Structures are given as C-alpha cells and as structure tokens.
Structure 1
C-alpha cells in the first residue's frame, strides 16, 4: 500500500484532502494519504515547490514526486531529488483556464475593446476591426498549454504561428524552431503570446532585439513566466510605440511591487497570476491516475526532462 505525502502550504491541504481522497478511491488501489509520514515510509509526494520539504534525501523509497504546478523551475534543479518528477498537465482545469485567458485577451486586443470600454471623450469611431483571418498571432512555446491555445485560436480563424525549442509539426499551425526560427516567428508579428517555461535558455527571450522584430504597435501577452521578459526593454518599447500594449499575468517578483512601473503605465494591463491555476478537483484526478499507472506497471505521464528544465 503506497504512502502518499501531501507537501504544500498548510492551507492547501483543506482544498485537496477531499478531492485527492475521492480520486484515489476511484482507482481502487489501497493507499494512505496525509501530511505526516516518516520520510523513509513515503512512496509518493504530491508537491508544491513552496513546501517545507526541500531536502529529498531522507525519502529513500520515493517512487515519484507529483508537482501540483505546471511550472517546475522551483524544484527541477534540486540535486537531492533523484526520483522521477512529473509536472501538472490538467486539460479540464489548468489547460482550460489558460485557453480562456489567452483567447479572451487576444480577442480583446484584436477587437480594440479597450477603446470602447474606457471612452471618456465619447469618441464615435465606426472603423471596424479586421477579421481574425487578417490578424496573425504568434505563440512562443508549444507545450501542452501552447498547443491547446494554438488550437483554440486557429478555431477562431486566426493564422497562428508557433515557436518551440525543438521542431514540432502541428496541423494548421506554422511552426518554427531554433534561433533563426525565433526571428522568423516574431517577424512582423501583431499579437505575441508567451507560454515558454522558465529556464536559463528562455530568460529575457523578449528583449530589445526581439521586440524590434515585431510589427509596430504589436500586442504582447505573457501568461507564461515573468523572467521571459526584459522589463526595461519592454517599457522602452511601450514608450516608443513599438509595442502597443502589454497584458501581463506573471512577473519576476510576485505580488508585483506597489512601486513597479507596470502598475501605472497606460499601455500595460496587470492581471494577478490568474491565467492558469491548478484546480483541486481536476488536478486530483490527474495525480491519482498517475499513481495508479505507476503502481500497475504503466509508465508515468508528464515526466520532466531534467536536462531541458521542463
């Protein structure tokens, strides 16, 4: 019978205890679930990187660590963790939330909604927006979240391009890879969406040089990771008009400090890291199914590639 340790902030246990128990019960496997086991008796850890558990050395019979978040940058480089690490891929919760945020803000900028929502001068401008077929969208990052967003935007009629570190082929989407591919993907891009992981290779991928590649007045959406953007370069591009607006959900420091320039910049929308959140009900089923797979001899899903960092 596997012992499953829930290791996250104490307040999260109240949210996860019942859904995890129900999902594990549905597998039919015997188990023990809790927040306190002797380390040498733990088989699985359901984990958030901000948990008290940071040294995995005492967990000598650990079979896997199940990360509760899509991002694993807070644990992937932990040298004490030698057991498999899985990331959260939850199509019914986390992925759906990201698709809704991305499509909502893409349509907002595509249709120019801000000018109508805030219009103190009562300007009557009947110029229609272009149709989606005339508005190319570029996604940087074609993992589970990026692919889901690309499919949703394609279904709305947008011509979608995507860039990833390694080559990928996706129906209906123009794909690029590598350094030259990044330049091609951003060249004259009108709406750019960042869904890359936080790794040393992706730090400041949006910088003065890459911002200059985009179409003048381009819109930038970042629901991915804060370190993807060189903040000073983005603020300069906003001030010059090279970037028309930035809608940002993630930041290097969270909560975003009160004195940060993003709060008051007229061309920046700040959302408080809400684009994609792990939902206990659906995430619990993902975790339970992965434990069931491992206990019955099937391969784990969503195993992190430590060398790539995601």
Structure 2
C-alpha cells in the first residue's frame, strides 16, 4: 500500500481527502492518505503539495518518487535546493475551464464596451453599437495549456487572435508568433492583450514602458497570468497617457493587493482577486492519481517541470 502525504492547504483537506479517495478507488490504487505528522517522512511515496502548505523542506522524504503540485505555478518551489524529487505542476480541465471563462468574460466586457453602460448614470441615451468580434484583434501572450485554451475559445467566437510564445506553436484558427521579433508583431496587433505566461526571468516585466508603447493606442490589458509579467509603474503611466485605456488584473506581485496600492483607486483599473484559474479538487485529484499510476508503472509523469526553464 502506498503512502500519500497531503501537503496542501489545511483548510482544503476535507475536500481533497474525499476527491483523492474517490479517484484512487476508481483507479484501483491501494493507498493511505496522511497529513504531516501522521507518517514518517521516509515512508512517504508521493507528496501532494501546494506552496502554501506546511512542507517547505523535502530533504527527509527520501523514498518519495515525486512531488505532485496542486498549483499551476511553480515559481515558489522550483528553486528550492532541498527538492531533488521530480516535480509535476497541475494542468487539469478545471483550471483550463476557469481560465477560459474568466478570459472570455473580460475580453467580451472590453470588446462590447460594457463599462460605458454600467457606469452611465447621466441619463444620456448613447446608441453606439460595438464592432463585431471579427473586427477586433486580440493578442494572447503565452500559449501553454491555459493560454492555448483561451486563444482557441476566443478564435471560436470570431475574434482575430494572435498568440505569442517563446517557442513556436501551432493552434488552429490562431496566428502564432514566437521569439523577440514575434513579440513586437503580436503586441502591435493587440487591441486587447491577455497575458497568460509563467513567472520566469525571461517573462518578468514583459509588459514594460517599451512594450506597452508597441500596443495600439487605447489598448486594453488583461492579466490573469502572473503579477511579475507587468511593470506596475509603466502600466500606470500608460493608463495616465491614454496609451492603455483600461486594465483588468487578477494577479499581483504582492497578494492580497495592499489597500494603499494605486490600482485600487485608479478609475481605469479593475482588481480581480486571483480568481481566474482555481484548482478544483475533483478534477485535480484525477490528474494526481494518474501521475501516481504512471509513477508506479514506470511511465513518464505528466506535466513534469523542467527546473532549468522554470516551468
């Protein structure tokens, strides 16, 4: 019988205990689920982990075959010197669907100009129809599992979608660009720009004073990716100048976003409290259990992190 250590958020233990138990039973895997202190570290076969959980030192887990993260982001653990076990990030249908729904909602909000009607208390009847999706260009920065899903969904609604990634990708219905030259071209097409990149040294401040100036004037910026993707001071300056018309931000360098941060009071910024892509226990448990099955069968793990690339 395997020993699986749940090292995620303590408050989510009941939900994950039920979801993992059901997934293990369905897969026919005999295992006991334990929490920290309920089993000796050297007896643990797999760690089911979240960066906000109780385990930060992996050195004593000498038997563990893998650390299976419940989060898509791994920047808080990938550089941990005690982590010598394979690390797998979370990619699952619940995360992807949540991201797609958030992106579609925010892109449509910007595209249709809904704020003009929601905030209009003047009594003026301004009957100005928005353009069709086929007349709007949307750029998605980042074409990993979540970015590709969002780009495909936007293309399915008829938007002219340009996707950019650091390495070449192909997605049906999406114009895919890559590399430094591709970034400039992608930004120039971005009436609405969505950032869904990982947090790495190469992506830090990818939207800065120079790159924000490449956008069409009056562009909208949506960031459900990572707070480090945007130079905050540069974005605030672009909002003040009108180069960027509006920004909706779901992720920040410091979370929760401090009450004194200028984003809270800015009239053209919407603060979304990191809700775009939440891990759901039921779907995440199936991914975790599939990786356990793979580990026991000697098959390659799904979504194994390349520590050199940082994701």
Q: What is the TM-score when the length of structure 1 is the normalising length?
A: 0.98
Q: Which residue of 2 aligns with 1:139?
A: 140
How far the C-alpha of 1:265 sits from its partner, in A, is: 0.3
1:19 and 2:19 are equivalent in the alignment: yes
Provide the rounded CA distance (Å) in 2 between the counterparts of 1:180 and 1:297: 41
Q: Which residue of 2 aligns with 1:297?
A: 298
Secondary structure of residue in 1 paired with 2:213: helix
**Alpha carbon RMSD of aligned pairs, Å?**
0.9
Residues 1-310 of structure 1 aligned to structure 2 (within 5 Å): 1-35=1-35, 36-91=38-93, 93-310=94-311
Shifted more, 36-45 versus 100-109: the winner is: 36-45
Q: How many residues align?
A: 309
Stretches of structure 1 lacking an aligned partner (at least 5 in a row): none
Stretches of structure 2 lacking an aligned partner (at least 5 in a row): none
Shifted more, 93-102 versus 296-305: the winner is: 296-305
Moved runs in structure 1, 4+ residues, more than 4 A? none
Q: What is the TM-score when the length of structure 2 is the normalising length?
A: 0.97
Shifted more, 190-199 versus 45-54: the winner is: 45-54
How far the C-alpha of 1:80 sits from its partner, in A, is: 1.2
Provide the rounded CA distance (Å) in 2 between the counterparts of 1:37 and 1:237: 53
How far the C-alpha of 1:48 sits from its partner, in A, is: 0.4
Q: CA deviation digits over 1:159-179, x for unaligned, max 9?
A: 111111111122221111111
Kept in 1: contact 2:247–2:268 (CA 8 A):
yes
